[in-house]
């Protein structure tokens, strides 16, 4: 049988290309309202997350068929197959001429739901994100591991994007990112950047990390450290002279170290402690809070650990719970704990007292700080 190409209806093809996916109207509404997330669930109205709160919209209720039709229109056949087999699928979608969305389609009670995070195409600066200046200094390191920690939705990806963009604008180097999915899209500036998306550019994290060192990177972004193999690859990259950025789901600097150690069996943790003490450069733990300052919806509160000889000794001695004392004695070196940063956010009128107390690891300690009494070392700044 000869190979015959079926005739193409050029008019139909042109019409299809001109027509936006149906989901775009919802995404554009999210952009217009400057919301952070879109949530779709069968037999309910669409919801958005704005200023941290999830709110129902005035749009019509969507059926399961509506949601699946809209999602399958923007998913590849491979992604559709993966979702049907596994009950969940992550991917990203570019809204033409606007922002990008990081999408998770998942099954619940045998129906399809969607959580879509808006990622602005423009990479914000440190100043626009209200990030501490000490984070900018980390961008000039040439070796080691920098960990961004926090819960989902804490702004970790955006802070890393700002740091990578600063490197892009100031250093002649090669940046390689391994992401699932790609969130912020970078344009080459002083640096040049290769971004690899799991499932599209490379089969999986294992393959991407295996080939990483052959790609001659100077700076590496490895998304979430979700398992032992991913962390080991990140550590190997740091040990071989690269600056590595990665994320961990944890709520404090000391808990971040515990979470990493928990990835490994008891007999292997001593070696990991030694590797951490040698290669770790900083842990930045972040939360996003609703702001009371006009024109600013949310502002980060950040705990910063910069690894110095005292921190290295504590990690090696299994005393990471004492790291907070080092942070409090080194405020002048660019470190800060949540209590100190919450105090400053209140004083600078970014957040109210109620928000600060709710976010504080120790509300009573924050109350004392607001009265001018500080725990640990350092002098009173107020």
Dihedral of alpha carbons 14, 101, 33, 47, sign: positive
Mean of per-residue pLDDT scores for the chain: 89
- Please state, in angstroms and rounded to a whole number, the distance separating the CA atoms of residues 211 and 222: 13
Give the largest CA-CA distance in the chain.
87
pLDDT > 80? residue 120: no
Mean per-residue pLDDT for 91-112? Answer: 91
**139-145-149-152 Cα dihedral, nearest 10 degrees:** 90
Starting from the edge strand earliest in sequence, which strands make up the sheet with 37-41, in order?
53-56, 47-50, 37-41, 111-119, 100-108, 88-94
Both tokens assigned to 238? 């740091």
Q: Write down the pLDDT at residue 55.
A: 94
Angle at 260 between CA 257 and CA 263, to 5 degrees: 150
Q: Write down the pLDDT at residue 92.
A: 87
Q: Write down the pLDDT at residue 374.
A: 74
Q: Write down the pLDDT at residue 341.
A: 97
Span 241-250, pLDDT tens digits: 999 999 999 9
Place of tokens 């500080």: 374
User: What phi and psi, each to the nearest 5 degrees, are found at residue 312?
Assistant: -60, -45
Q: Which of 4-8, 161-165, 294-298 has the highest mean pLDDT?
A: 161-165
Q: Write down the pLDDT at residue 17.
A: 43
Both tokens assigned to 278? 């040698």
Give the model's confidence band at 98: pLDDT under 50 very low, under 70 low, under 90 confident, else very high. Answer: confident
Q: What residues pair up with 62 in beta bridges, in sequence order?
A: 44
For residue 316, how many other CB atoms are within 10 A of its CB? 15
133, 126 contact by CB (below 8 A): yes
Q: Write down the pLDDT at residue 13.
A: 31
Q: What is the DSSP letter of 275?
A: H
Domains of the chain: 21-119 (3.30.450.90), 126-370 (3.40.50.300)
Q: Write down the pLDDT at residue 325.
A: 95
Dihedral of alpha carbons 284, 162, 164, 178, sign: positive
Give 364's Cβ-side CA count (13 Å radius): 0
Both tokens assigned to 248? 């961990």
Mean per-residue pLDDT for 71-97? Answer: 93
For residue 262, how many other CB atoms are within 10 A of its CB? 10
Both tokens assigned to 357? 């107390």
Both tokens assigned to 375? 């725990």
131, 165 contact by CB (below 8 A): no
Q: Write down the pLDDT at residue 381.
A: 31
pLDDT > 60? residue 380: no
Q: Please state, for a pLDDT cut of 70, what percent of the chain lies above it.
A: 93
- Please state, in angstroms and rounded to a whole number, the distance separating the CA atoms of residues 341 and 131: 11
Span 12-59, pLDDT tens digits: 333 344 578 999 999 999 999 989 899 999 999 999 998 788 999 999
Q: Write down the pLDDT at residue 378.
A: 41
Both tokens assigned to 130? 């209200």
Place of tokens 């789901």: 249
pLDDT > 90? residue 109: yes
pTM comes to 0.79
Angle at 176 between CA 174 and CA 177, to 5 degrees: 150
Span 174-219, pLDDT tens digits: 999 998 878 888 999 999 999 998 877 888 888 888 888 899 999 9
Span 56-83, pLDDT tens digits: 999 999 999 999 999 999 999 999 999 9
Give 82's Cβ-side CA count (13 Å radius): 15
298, 289 contact by CB (below 8 A): yes
pLDDT > 70? residue 100: yes
Both tokens assigned to 1? 């049988």
**248-249-250-253 Cα dihedral, nearest 10 degrees:** 20
Please give the C-alpha separations between residue 315 and each of 272, 278, 318, 321, 328, in angstroms, as whole numbers.
10, 10, 5, 9, 17
pLDDT > 90? residue 233: no
Q: Write down the pLDDT at residue 291.
A: 96
Worst-scoring range by mean pLDDT, 116-125, 155-164, 289-298, 305-314? 116-125
Q: Please state, for a pLDDT cut of 90, what percent of the chain lies above it.
A: 74
Q: Write down the pLDDT at residue 18.
A: 57
- Please state, in angstroms and rounded to a whole number, the distance separating the CA atoms of residues 167 and 192: 10
pLDDT > 50? residue 364: yes
């Amino acid at each position: 049988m000869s190979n015959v190409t079926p005739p193409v209806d050029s008019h139909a093809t042109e019409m299809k290309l001109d027509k936006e996916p149906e989901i775009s109207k919802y995404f554009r509404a999210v952009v217009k309202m400057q919301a952070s997330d879109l949530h779709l669930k069968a037999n309910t109205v669409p919801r958005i997350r704005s200023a941290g709160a999830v709110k129902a919209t005035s749009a019509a209720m969507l059926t399961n068929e509506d949601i699946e039709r809209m999602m399958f229109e923007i998913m590849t056949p491979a992604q559709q197959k993966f979702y049907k087999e596994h009950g969940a699928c992550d991917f990203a979608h570019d809204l033409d001429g606007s922002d990008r969305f990081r999408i998770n389609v998942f099954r619940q009670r045998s129906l399809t739901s969607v959580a879509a995070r808006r990622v602005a195409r423009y990479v914000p600066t440190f100043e626009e994100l209200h990030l501490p200046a000490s984070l900018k200094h980390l961008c000039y390191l040439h070796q080691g591991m920098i960990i961004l920690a926090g819960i989902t939705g804490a702004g970790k990806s955006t802070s890393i994007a700002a740091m990578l963009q600063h490197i892009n604008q100031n250093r002649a180097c090669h940046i390689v990112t391994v992401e699932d999915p790609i969130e912020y899209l970078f344009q080459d500036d002083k640096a040049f950047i290769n971004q690899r998306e799991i499932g599209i550019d490379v089969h999986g994290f294992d393959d991407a990390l295996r080939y990483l060192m052959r790609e001659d990177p100077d700076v590496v972004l490895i998304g979430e450290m979700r398992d032992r193999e991913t962390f080991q690859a990140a550590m190997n990259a740091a040990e071989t002279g690269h600056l590595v950025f990665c994320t961990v789901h944890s709520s404090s600097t000391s808990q971040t170290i515990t979470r990493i150690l928990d990835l490994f069996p008891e007999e292997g943790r001593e070696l990991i402690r030694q590797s951490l003490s040698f290669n770790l450069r900083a842990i930045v733990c972040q939360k996003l809070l609703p702001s009371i300052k006009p024109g600013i919806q949310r502002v980060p509160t950040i705990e910063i650990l910069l690894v110095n000889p005292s921190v290295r000794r504590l990690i090696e001695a299994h005393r990471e719970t004492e790291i907070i004392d080092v942070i409090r004695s080194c405020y002048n070196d660019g470190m800060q704990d949540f209590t100190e940063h919450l105090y400053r956010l209140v004083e600078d009128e970014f957040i109210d007292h109620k928000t600060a107390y709710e976010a504080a690891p120790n509300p009573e300690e924050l109350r004392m700080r607001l009265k001018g009494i500080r725990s640990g070392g350092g002098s009173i700044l107020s």
